[in-house]
Structure 1
């Protein structure tokens, strides 16, 4: 790699600043834009600048629209509402109308959300609405569901987000992964069943080396996570109570059919594990 050097006689501070601007592809890039914490330490760690870039297009691919995007974006949006209480979050082409109690549980103020709906399949109208929202002074963030957008469309949105310093999320289906994108940050979000989390985030594109493994996040509201943890603890306690009582009396019985007592006990324990 070529080495940049300051001109003879240049001050040490200038030479340091010059080298600080050099990004090596094997390293995680520093943020050239202002960033917002995502609300998830594990995700912040793998993103340039430790958060969502503000003034740039963040492209999120997901198999099913309307399932995981709020869990992923809500912490940053809630922080923006606290920082700029008069600002608006604009939703363009959302697949479902926002459900107030669920978003309230994520600390979002529904009175500061504006939803723009277009006709089914009318991609140009949705793109126009997204650009207009980015240019509005009262808007601090835009979430747009644009399954049919192309690279040229996204480039215009990237330019608008940068020009007006807005937080912009664009949601698209996984098939878009095969297409080029001007987004500096591109993620693939997939749901999973795991006690430690419910969302796998694959970092497809960032200013840095490829990420070998996805990041596991628990994007469920805190109260729901607590209820699930309590349910698992009750199931564990029931298993411990059942085992000493039933196993000694059943261990000597033959396993003759799927309807045997042992099979019934195993089915019951499996049912507890499932819940």
Structure 2
């Protein structure tokens, strides 16, 4: 095969060099994650700027959104973000704390039969900087996954595809696949697949302390073991007024 053809395939990311690690700057084909250890583990130096990225986790809310909030807050300045069939209603004040304005968030509810169509149309439109979709109730095949990835590349949109862990054995065209496991204080990541080199990196990142404190059970909330000050209590003995009481005692 001519070297020119090889170069064209590599530039179009249709062929991946096994040993060559191609890092891209934040202004190019990747965006900094906001976590230095994660940036070092990703061969591109950050999250992909377009195309599909798969996050495999069984339980929503284990910290998977914390991983992408720093990047989304930067991308959201130029274009809105779409949320397709999220498991819970996005909390506007919480998003605002991460720099995501409510007016820049589009919430899309699609029937199960139309979810993949809605995702593909939104990704290809070029309107959104990112699309977050959850497919716990649908199981796209390899061809459908490829259509979503190509639509995201065409629309210059980052597709964050949250899927159950049982989908890990399925082949996927997504250049980046990450297993996410949340704990009470940290998030454990396993990079299953990534562009530009080998995968298998394992990381443990700390969670947002404010969020973890808010999610603690009530019986674990911090309390004062001793009262801050003693309260003045007037003890009344039957038949006797207290020293500080000026009210008469009524005897039966």
What is the TM-score with the length of structure 2 in the denominator? 0.71
Instruction: Verify the 8 A CA contact 1:66 1:94 in the aligned structure 2.
Output: no
Compute the displacement of 1:144 (Å): 0.7
Q: Which residue of 1 aligns with 2:114?
A: 125
Counterpart-to-counterpart distance in 2, 1:200 and 1:209: 19
Asked whether 1:199 is paired with 2:190, we answer no
Instruction: Verify the 8 A CA contact 2:62 2:181 in the aligned structure 1.
Output: no
Compute the displacement of 1:203 (Å): 0.1
Instruction: Verify the 8 A CA contact 1:66 1:95 in the aligned structure 2.
Output: no
Compute the displacement of 1:65 (Å): 2.3
Instruction: Verify the 8 A CA contact 1:56 1:167 in the aligned structure 2.
Output: yes
Instruction: Verify the 8 A CA contact 2:62 2:183 in the aligned structure 1.
Output: no
Counterpart-to-counterpart distance in 2, 1:168 and 1:79: 15
Number of aligned residue pairs: give it: 206
Choose from 143, 146, 149 the match for 1:152: 143
Compute the displacement of 1:137 (Å): 3.2
Give the secondary-structure state (helix, strand or coil) at the position aligned to 2:172: coil
Asked whether 1:209 is paired with 2:221, we answer no
Give the direction of change, closer, same or farther, for the CA distance of 1:60–1:224 in structure 2 (3 Å limit): closer
Give the direction of change, closer, same or farther, for the CA distance of 1:98–1:160 in structure 2 (3 Å limit): same
Deviations 1:34-61 (A, max 9, x none): 1111111111111122111112110110
Choose from 35, 57, 82 the match for 2:30: 35
Instruction: Verify the 8 A CA contact 2:193 2:199 in the aligned structure 1.
Output: yes
Compute the displacement of 1:200 (Å): 0.6
Counterpart-to-counterpart distance in 2, 1:173 and 1:31: 29
Choose from 71, 94, 105 the match for 1:76: 71
Structure with the largest fraction of helix:
1
Counterpart-to-counterpart distance in 1, 2:184 and 2:61: 18
Give the direction of change, closer, same or farther, for the CA distance of 1:30–1:202 in structure 2 (3 Å limit): same
Compute the displacement of 1:23 (Å): 6.2
Counterpart-to-counterpart distance in 1, 2:3 and 2:141: 41
Compute the displacement of 1:152 (Å): 1.4
Give the secondary-structure state (helix, strand or coil) at the position aligned to 1:135: helix
Compute the displacement of 1:151 (Å): 1.7
Asked whether 1:180 is paired with 2:159, we answer no
Compute the displacement of 1:111 (Å): 1.6
Give the secondary-structure state (helix, strand or coil) at the position aligned to 2:62: coil
Counterpart-to-counterpart distance in 1, 2:17 and 2:129: 32
What is the TM-score with the length of structure 1 in the denominator? 0.66
Gaps of 5+ in 1: 7-16, 229-234, 239-275
Coordinate RMSD, CA, aligned: 3.2
Gaps of 5+ in 2: 216-221, 226-252
Q: Which moved more, 1:59-68 or 1:183-192?
A: 59-68
Q: What is the correspondence of 1:39-78 to structure 2 with a 5 Å cutoff?
A: 39-78=34-73
